[in-house]
Amino acid sequence: MRGKIKDKLMSFISIFAMLLAMCFIISVPQGHAALSFTEQTDADFNINENVLDATLGDLDNDGLNDVIALTESGGTYRIRIWENTSSAGTATFNASNVVYSTASRVLNKVIVANLNSATNANTQNDIIACANYDSVTANQQIMVWKNPGKAAGTVFAASWNGGSPNAMFGGSTSHISDIAAGELDGDSGNNYVDLVSANGASAIIRQNPSDSAADPYTGGNWTTSGELTGSKTNVTTVAIGHIDGTNDTFKDVAIGYNNGSAAALIAYQNPAASIYTGNWTTSATIAALAGTATTRITGIVIANRNGPEVTDPNDCDIFWTRGDSAVSSQEKSLKVKTNPGGTTPFAGVWGTTTIETQTSTNGYYFNEVALGDFTPDSNKYPDVVYAVDSNGDTEPITKGEEGNTYANTFTPSLAAVSGKTVATGFIDEAVSGNGKIDFIAGFTTDGGAEQEIRVWRNDAGTTAATLKPKSFKAEPKAKKIVLRWVTSSEVDSASFTVLRSEDGGTTYDVTVGSVNANGESPSGAKYNLTDSNVERGKIYYYKLQEIDLSTSTTDLATLKVKYKKAKK
């Protein structure tokens, strides 16, 4: 009797082992998909003017980013705007309107920001520009245009405020080469945007007069200001962002300057008290660059290179570009300085990652850098796009980060133009919602019919999985097959779905079921679904899919099962 029981037990174990052997995983290759963009040509960008700066921002409150650019032709500087009329999958723009035109000013930078956001429910952005000092007309160097849509006017009219700024201020005799906007009194809760400008040998902080219920569109109200300490000779660029965000809620400032023989990147800590009336004294030299009088830090962006999922997301890093207009042997580069974090980021040692560098005689010049998550369904790391100018042949180059390596590259094929500026943002997001950042670039004219502003729409499609399944297995049971899987990590996962095929994996036309994902799990999780509609003797193929927060679907693995479980 015992022998018969033993034989039956051994037979059952053999059958069970055979069933397990019939279940195996066919893995889908993992890793980040290649960056892919399609240039969206639009004749309205054929303006035959040099594009010195460009940015994206919603001007008419329709959810689509419009294009704002600073251009020059024959010594006349203009601020142009293009209305975004995109539809799903296609970027289109109406012909530009000129907000401002001047032959007596040298304009250097244009940005958009809502200067009275706390008191005006209308979110339409205003326009801010800066210029060189003009000794002939003694014009102020910071100019503000109030969006006419805030007074029920026409946003895309021939000009704003009759072609004149609503406010002009900043009247020192130095040139203002750069300007940035951001709220500096972080604990006030009023959300008014302040300004920081690169004023020759200093950087000036200006308080938004809306803090004291004054009109920000009246130049005489922008009177409260502070200064970043120290003699800098020539401040070339400024940026606002959280550098010491772990310890306070106040945004800090970074600047690039040249002292006549070298350049430096410096970060200043927001003093939190007397922000607009005293000097900012706590600072750290993030990078000291040996060079020449023509060595420049050309662009700065303050952002966390590891995205929002890190322990201290507001201890931001600093991305910066370097160029040299005269000495070809000097390094031209794009780098990121890594915040040491902790309690003293202004006293710690910052790490360095070189994203791209050139030290040669070909005259490379890195002009500007912008950030955007080009593959949001695969990670939250900010990727970079930057403008490169080399002997008149230039290309905006994008690089996607995988871990700590910027190696996933997309390079458009362009020639015979000079790249000056890049900007990132959604082009048709309000329509298609594909969740992937697009970018634009501005060029100086080549005298032909080339577009001086170009738009690249992100069409990468579904990128590789945000996770790698440790296992995907089937357990045949009486009248059912239980499907189990384990993930190693999850980022932005919304749910998982298992599909079934009965034609050898050609068509997965049966949905077994779906289960919600943990979503954000660095150590992964366990899941299971049960297929109760099975027949003995049939071969089934199962496909495991992930759906992320942007609704993109990714195939993770497939599984073949020959169901031979005996009836009970």
Report the C-alpha gap between 553 and 544 in whole angstroms: 10
Inter-residue contact 176 to 132 (CB < 8 Å):
yes
The pLDDT score that the predictor gives to residue 464 is: 38
Closest by CA to 275, choosing from 218, 212, 194, is: 194
Q: What is the pTM of this model?
A: 0.75
Residue, of 267 and 296, whose pLDDT is higher: 267
Inter-residue contact 477 to 491 (CB < 8 Å):
no
Quick: pLDDT tens for 133-173.
Answer: 876 767 778 999 999 988 777 899 778 999 899 999 887 67
Has residue 17 got a pLDDT over 70?
A: no
Has residue 14 got a pLDDT over 70?
A: no
The pLDDT score that the predictor gives to residue 531 is: 93
Report the C-alpha gap between 273 and 184 in whole angstroms: 11
Provide the CA 490 distance to its chain's centre, in angstroms. 21
The 3-state DSSP composition of the chain as helix, strand, coil percent (nearest 5) reads: 10, 45, 45
Q: What type of residue is 352? A: T
The pLDDT score that the predictor gives to residue 400 is: 79
What three-state secondary structure class fits 51? strand
Inter-residue contact 468 to 487 (CB < 8 Å):
yes
| Burial class for 334, CB neighbours closer than 10 Å (0-12, 13-18, 19+) | buried
Domains of the chain: 20-32+464-562 (2.60.40.10), 37-369+380-458 (2.130.10.10)
- Render 118-161 in DSSP notation, one character per residue: TT-S--PPEEEEEE--BTTTTB-SEEEE--GGGGT--TTSS-SG
Report the C-alpha gap between 20 and 542 in whole angstroms: 15
Report the C-alpha gap between 399 and 197 in whole angstroms: 29
Averaged pLDDT, 513-529: 79
The pLDDT score that the predictor gives to residue 96 is: 92
Quick: pLDDT tens for 88-107.
Answer: 777 889 999 999 999 988 99
Averaged pLDDT, 73-102: 91
Residue, of 202 and 468, whose pLDDT is higher: 202
Q: What is the mean pLDDT of the chain?
A: 79
Has residue 441 got a pLDDT over 80?
A: yes
Q: For the chain, what's the residue count?
A: 568
Closest by CA to 197, choosing from 247, 143, 134, 151, is: 143
Has residue 465 got a pLDDT over 50?
A: no
Inter-residue contact 234 to 262 (CB < 8 Å):
no
How much of the chain exceeds pLDDT 70, in percent? 76
Has residue 112 got a pLDDT over 80?
A: yes
- Least trusted range by pLDDT, from 114-128, 353-367, 454-468: 454-468
Residue, of 111 and 524, whose pLDDT is higher: 111
The pLDDT score that the predictor gives to residue 462 is: 38
Quick: pLDDT tens for 388-403.
Answer: 775 544 567 888 776 6
Q: How confident is the model at residue 9 (pLDDT cuts 50, 70, 90)?
A: very low
The pLDDT score that the predictor gives to residue 104 is: 87
Backbone angles phi, psi at 18, to 5 degrees: -65, -40
Backbone angles phi, psi at 196, to 5 degrees: -125, 130
Most confident region among 310-324, 344-358, 397-411, 440-454 by mean pLDDT: 344-358
The pLDDT score that the predictor gives to residue 205 is: 92
The pLDDT score that the predictor gives to residue 445 is: 64
The pLDDT score that the predictor gives to residue 537 is: 82
The pLDDT score that the predictor gives to residue 395 is: 64
Has residue 424 got a pLDDT over 80?
A: yes
Report the C-alpha gap between 421 and 440 in whole angstroms: 8
Provide the CA 459 distance to its chain's centre, in angstroms. 16
